[in-house]
A and B are shown apart, each in its own frame.
Chain A
């Protein structure tokens, strides 16, 4: 079971990427069925197993606003608690499935997860409600904080405090990366190659400042090609 840690959610989860031995074939069958079923009616996957379903876009919006506002330093653990345990809109397995897909797609995991959940529950209106709930209220909080910061940015104590908070933010994010390292041992590339890729990425991005696009297009493509070969059935 995942033990979501209170670190930046999006980065943290990439550790739990689906590995072949954790993705049994019957699960693949189930997801394919779900996808078929959801084409005939967007509510099906929720009606099948989970005890409850959201009744309206407004309800989705309220719940996602509530969970987003509780998410200090990462919304994912809160999302799991609220959606699975409190609202019971998803089973734990459904939550993990959504998360696995959300990770593969570009964009923040929790944002993708909200969108997919809302879309499945009530179509695009539900998706929009979940996305809005996840983003709007925290956005307002951030805006107020930013205006306060800009107003007092010249004040030495405030500037110092923000520097200290920035230092911690840097440390927190670096730690997230450190905590993800052990997960790479399970990577099909093998630990030596995976760690070499991490090091190459760090040197090129953090020290040499190579544009991200070229790294993903070059090193990323090479990694994917190698993984593809190693995954040969």
Chain B
């Protein structure tokens, strides 16, 4: 199941994730559409289904949701792939955080930082919604799964039910009707 990636492929993957790390304003999940474009549509290293399953595993497990990136890495190249994608996504943002935190904190209320935060906020929201839409792709052909997506959105927006229960329910629906 592991596609054979060449050395230059891996270089490209690493570079891609390094760049995405710096673009991940508002969280790692916002970079999922770009990862999907790169890994699924451009290079066909993962299928739509594998991509959505990776995010589902990342969401079902405890811990920061950026771990879906480890699962994506595993999908394209096992343990090595996992280390490449995780190192790529973590190194730039953590380094930047270490050095820029005090600088940014002191200027948090300045016009420049405020303009950046305010100007980027709508894009973050659009990105998050795009991510959800793209993750639904493997399900759009199946009425039960489509209903699951719509149901999830309704329940999640209207109530405070823990996502874990919804994921478990989705697993049940999928196991019998997916």
Interface of A toward B, CB cutoff 8 Å: 5-11, 13-14, 17-20, 23, 25, 27-28, 31-32, 34-35, 38-39, 68-75, 97, 100-112, 115-116, 119, 124, 127, 131, 134-135, 137-139, 141-143, 145-146, 149-150, 153, 157-181, 183-184, 187-189, 193-195, 197-202, 205-206, 209, 211-213, 215-216, 219-228, 231, 233
Q: Specify which chain A residues have a CB less than 8 angstroms from the CB of B65 in the assembled complex.
A: 8-10, 74, 108
CA distance A226 to B119 in the complex (A): 7
Q: Specify which chain A residues have a CB less than 8 angstroms from the CB of B116 in the assembled complex.
A: 104, 224, 227
B127-159 at interface with A (beta carbon < 8 Å): 127-136, 138-139, 142, 145-146, 148-153, 156-157
CA distance A108 to B63 in the complex (A): 12
* A106–B21 CB distance below 8 A: yes
Closest Cβ–Cβ distance, residue A171 to chain B (whole Å): 3
B4-59 at interface with A (beta carbon < 8 Å): 19-34, 37, 41, 49, 52-59
Q: Which 4 A-B pairs have the closest CB atoms?
A: A164-B174, A138-B63, A10-B27, A201-B126
Give B148's nearest chain A residue, CB to CB.
A167
Q: Specify which chain A residues have a CB less than 8 angstroms from the CB of B171 in the assembled complex.
A: 161-162, 164-165, 168
Closest Cβ–Cβ distance, residue B11 to chain A (whole Å): 18
Q: Is the interface of B mostly helix, strand, loop or mixed?
A: helix
Known: A110-B64, A145-B61, A172-B152. A18 touches B109 (CB 8 A): yes
Q: Specify which chain A residues have a CB less than 8 angstroms from the CB of B86 in the assembled complex.
A: 139
CA distance A142 to B66 in the complex (A): 11
Chain B count of residues within 8 A CB distance of the other chain? 112
Partner of A73, one of B104, B157, B163: B163
Known: A17-B121, A75-B64. 10 other contacts (CB 8 A): A72-B164, A131-B94, A161-B171, A162-B49, A163-B53, A163-B139, A165-B167, A167-B135, A201-B123, A212-B127
* A142–B71 CB distance below 8 A: yes
Partner of B176, one of A159, A160, A176, A188: A160
Q: Specify which chain B residues have a CB less than 8 angstroms from the CB of A174 in the assembled complex.
A: 128-129, 131-133, 136, 149, 153
Give A173's nearest chain B residue, CB to CB.
B132
* B101–A198 CB distance below 8 A: no
B60-77 toward A: CB 8 Å interface, digit per residue (1/0)? Answer: 111111110011001100
Known: A163-B138, A171-B152, A202-B129. A104 touches B108 (CB 8 A): yes
